[in-house]
Amino acid sequence: MSSQANRSNHQHISEPQQIYLDYAATTPVHPEVLDKMVQCLSFSGTFGNPASRSHSYGWHAEELVEHAREQVAELIHADKKEIIWTSGATESNNLALKGIAQFYSGKGKHIITSQIEHKAILDTCAELEQQGFEVSYLQPEKQTGLITPEMVQHVIRPDTILVSLMLVNNEIGTLTNIEEISEITRNNGTLLHVDAAQGAGKVSIDVEKTAIDLMSLSAHKIYGPKGIGALYARRSPRVRLKAQIHGGGHERGMRSGTLATHQIVGMGEACRLAKTQRIQEQQRISILRGKLFTGLQDLTPIILNGHETQHVANYLNVSFADTQKADLIINTIKKFAAVSSGSACNSHQSSPSHVLTALGVAPYLAENAVRFSFGAYTTEQDIETVLTALKAVLQPNTRNTQQPLVQLI
């Protein structure tokens, strides 16, 4: 990196703090989570290797790991023996898809997913296609991003071994009707994997009531640390996986590697807090989302990307339709708030979001889209600040002098 680029980065860091509206990318660690983690790092704390069975340092670490396993299981109404520790949702997705495909390849080689999944799913499916598997990519409903049970029913086959769909889309917040889809997969003898990285802590999850066989979870989306996640794998009826990481037989042979006690404890505590605060937080954030959406509508023509009602409160993805003012609007927003023009996992790419493209959003609207995502530290004043900044540059009193470019959603 050039010295000029370095100076530019330092200047950016020293600028006044932006309002954080990118909780879909990551969340800050909750203070209570941090306290629990710190207690597992020093010599005076529980720093031992959980796999060390010959002394108390290892025993105490193992106790904390198993307690955290139970906390994660409680968030999704699972048995703690069904929780496998991973490095995050990306690894969980890889283990689920590759592990199932390779173990059940004798039964069939057909997999179903959708065009708007996270890249951890899409890239893994592309790799499985190279290994001889056939993947059907469901096209979502235009504009809303819904993946319906009827879509799954239309393409499922006797040789379909796995359906993998996300619970909440990471760019538009649209919810998938997993409950009805699970009935289809169970009746067909097909396994169902759900990427719940963006859904855990936001919607009620019960893997016992719903016939979900595998579920990916991530700590850093729910105020836990980065670098830790989990995969739920059903024990009855038992789901079998071919391990992808070997060396030591940890996690019942399904994922080898020394367990990071401090991160695991952090994820457990984050799940505990998410379970207790979910309903209240969704109600609070829903008000903030509505305030921002209405405020933007009053200022400029926008199009909602995602479903109007079937969504979580945390995300709002809109395209700014006034091509003459879109750059001004987006630059103003980014001056005051940390937002995303797509998913953080694709931020290095200049091409339009694959999610918005699959929704049929016109290229110019996809390029002028912004994802706002709200969380624990978002306030009504934050929303007011963004809207006030936009009012200052858009002069709303002249807005209706011209015909709107598109119908407001």
Q: How far is CA 301 from the centre of its chain?
A: 28
Q: Residues 336, 386: contact at Cβ < 8 Å?
A: yes
Q: Residues 330, 391: contact at Cβ < 8 Å?
A: no
The two beta strands, 191-195 and 160-166, are parallel
Cα distance between residue 404 and residue 263, in whole Å? 50
Beta carbons within 10 angstroms of residue 106's beta carbon: 7
- In degrees and rounded to multiples of 5, residue 303 shows phi and psi of -125, 130
**Any idea which residues carry the catalytic annotation?**
345
Cα distance between residue 111 and residue 190, in whole Å? 9
Contacts of 374 (CB under 8 A, 6+ apart): 21, 23, 285, 288, 289, 313, 314, 315, 316
DSSP readout, 265-307? HHHHHHHHHHHHHHHHHHHHHHHHHHHHHHHHHHHS-EEE-S-
Burial of 44 (0-12, 13-18, 19+ CB in 10 A): exposed
At 281, list the tokens: 């937080």
DSSP readout, 120-134? HHHHHHHHHHHTT-E
The two beta strands, 315-320 and 302-304, are antiparallel
189: left (phi over 0), alpha (psi -120 to 50) or beta: left
Q: How far is CA 115 from the centre of its chain?
A: 16
Residue 237, preceding peptide bond in cis (omega within 30° of 0):
yes
